Amino acid sequence: MVLDEGLQRLGRAGLAVFERLGRAVLFLMQVLTGLPDLVLHLRLLVRELYSVGVLSVAIIVISGLTVGMVLGLQMYNTLIDFGAEQSLGPVVALSLVRELGPVLTALLFSGRAGSALTAEIGLMKVTDQLSVMEMMAVDPIKRVVAPRFLAGTISVPLLAAMFSAAGILGAYFVGVGLLGVDSGAFWSQMQDKVDLYEDVYNGVVKSLVFGLVATWIAVFEGYDAVPTTEGVSRATTRTVVHTAFAVLGLDFVLTALMFGG
Amino acid sequence: MNQNDNNTHGDDILVKMRGLHFGFGSRVIIDGMDIDIPRGKVTTIMGPSGTGKTTLLRLIGGQWRPSAGSVEVDGVNVHAVGRKELYRLRKRMGMMFQSGALFTHLSVFENVAYPLREHTRLSESMLRHLVLMKLQAVGLRGARDLMPAELSGGMARRVALARAVALDPMMIMYDEPFTGQDPITVGVIMQLIRLLNDSMGLTSIIVSHDVAEVSAISDQIYMISEGKVVEHGAPQSLRDSSSEWVQQFMHGLPDGPAPFHYPAPEYAADLLGTA
């Protein structure tokens, strides 16, 4: 009896998850069909690029810098045991460009901009701003969601590039500036070991996928939020948690596909 | 635009609801309603909270779909047409939400200009003239540069009203326009609803439970309760109604056909824990 109830509950929860996933996919289709309309409303896109992209630059650059500094310090202490401290440049660059840049940028983006997108769209729903748009014969998916979605998808790869660049500078400051690694070796080995296609290109693809998924989750959670204060609060939390799971899971899949041999 | 210009279907009834049913899951909200909204008149849908008044407006606007029955607006079955046709129809409807639902990132001027920017290609000077005319009509031309956060509740509703009539619609729906307003604001909104209806040849549908206010400005009132139309007619005929329920509602009596107590077990048994 208890087992039956447990199975039923599990089945219902499973169905609810798939039902919501289906809704999210249909929502994404609607958003994608709304993108061409943005050509006529470039001002909306520019405003959102500023809001989700430009305003995220500070947190991304500062985080990248500190991650790079820590990475430089840790890697130096490990590499010196093998007499390989001159390889600090490529080790740090590969870690950042392949993994840490795209992943941490997506997670930071979700916390700074994704949660704000969810809250903003959710509050527009609570205050009937989306309904009033519909009643004015204006599609809120085209005017509210699509520009935010595209801005987020464009911003994350650019922010990831900034994160990696700041991280490399941070590692350079610690490795070369403080610990005495040769500056020429730092840059020349990095240039030699980091491959444009294998490393940089794959990192860009990863950050593009993460940006799309993180923004998709953020705008969907906002649009699908229960229109109450508590509903928006829960949706905002879900955005950050689901994005973290999705990004980390996808990172493994993409890494296996790109570098799995 | 006068009343005749708005009549594209040659029918005196602008909105026809027939056999309307709607619910959330197993909870029935609307249980077989037939309502006619005459063209050019102010019609109020009145009833206690939670009886589906706002739901009716959302069904008329095509935002929600009934489980059975039909809603025709100007001869168009709202739920049988495609999105394009529905949007075309909505351009001829205005709606004022209870909260005003102003866009918080836009100024008063830009809020009123929003539907015009979306649906017309007017020059900036023409658009400015139109917006100022609409704001003048609601007495807020001087507030054009304020942001929604700087407005009082009554001012926000007046801006929402100016925005709702920006495209010169054939009808306008008001969702609880008087709730939570001071007497002066109530008076202003009452006057605006009647004045705009008559001067622009609109058809107005008000959803409210403010008996005195709507009685003063409505041409006809539909009383609804528990998902059904209880009675309808001119305000005076409802005041003279022999229905106990209508009398209770019109005079605000605490007990009657609509009971004071929520259904519960017998009181003494409940206290003794034997219920």
State whether A138 and B115 contact (CB < 8 Å).
Answer: yes
Q: So what's the pLDDT on residue B9? A: 55
Sheet holding B68-73, edge to edge: B27-38, B13-24, B68-73, B76-77
Question: What domains, with CATH codes, occur in chain B?
Answer: 3-247 (3.40.50.300)
Span A40-69, mean pLDDT?
94
Q: Min CA distance, B255 vs chain A (Å)?
A: 32
What's the pLDDT band for A12 if we cut at 50, 70, 90?
Answer: very high
For the cut 70, the answer to whether the pLDDT of residue A159 exceeds it is yes
For B:122-161, CB contacts with A below 8 A are 160
What's the pLDDT band for A258 if we cut at 50, 70, 90?
Answer: confident
State whether A138 and B118 contact (CB < 8 Å).
Answer: yes
Q: So what's the pLDDT on residue A149? A: 96
Q: Min CA distance, B8 vs chain A (Å)?
A: 19
| Residue A220 structural domain | 2-259
Report which secondary-structure segment, H or E, holds B32.
Answer: strand B27-38
Q: So what's the pLDDT on residue A74? A: 93
Look at chain A and report how many structural domains it folds into. 1
Task: Kindly provide the ipTM of the predicted complex, given to two decimals.
Answer: 0.83
Backbone phi, then psi, for B52, in 5-degree steps? 95, 25
| Nearest Cβ partner for A131 among B63, B94, B104 | B63
Q: Identify the CA nearest to A183 among candidates A169, A194, A193.
A: A169
Closest chain B residue by Cα to residue A142: B118
Supply the DSSP string of chain A, one letter for each residue. -HHHHHHHHHHHHHHHHHHHHHHHHHHHHHHHHHSGGGGGGHHHHHHHIIIIIGGGHHHHHHHHHHHHHHHHHHHHHHHGGGT-GGGHHHHHHHIIIIIIHHHHHHHHHIIIIIHHHHHHHHHHHHTTHHHHHHHTT--HIIIIIHHHHHHHHHHHHHHHHHHHHHHHHHHHIIIIIIT---HHHHHHHHHHH--IIIIIIHHHHHHHHHHHHHHHHHHHHHHTS-SSHHHHHHHHHHHHHHHHHHHHHHHHHHHHHHH--
What pTM value is reported for the model? 0.86
Span A106-121, mean pLDDT?
96
The series of mean pLDDT values per 10 residues for chain B, 275 residues long, is 49 89 87 91 88 89 92 92 91 89 94 94 93 91 94 90 92 89 86 89 90 87 88 87 81 74 85 84
A170: left (phi over 0), alpha (psi -120 to 50) or beta: alpha
B65 lies within 8 A of chain A by CB? no
Rounded to a whole number, what is the largest CA-CA distance in chain B? 76
Residues of chain A contacting residue B104, judged by C-beta atoms under 8 Å apart: 127, 129
B118 lies within 8 A of chain A by CB? yes
Span A47-76, mean pLDDT?
95
State whether B97 and A131 contact (CB < 8 Å).
Answer: yes
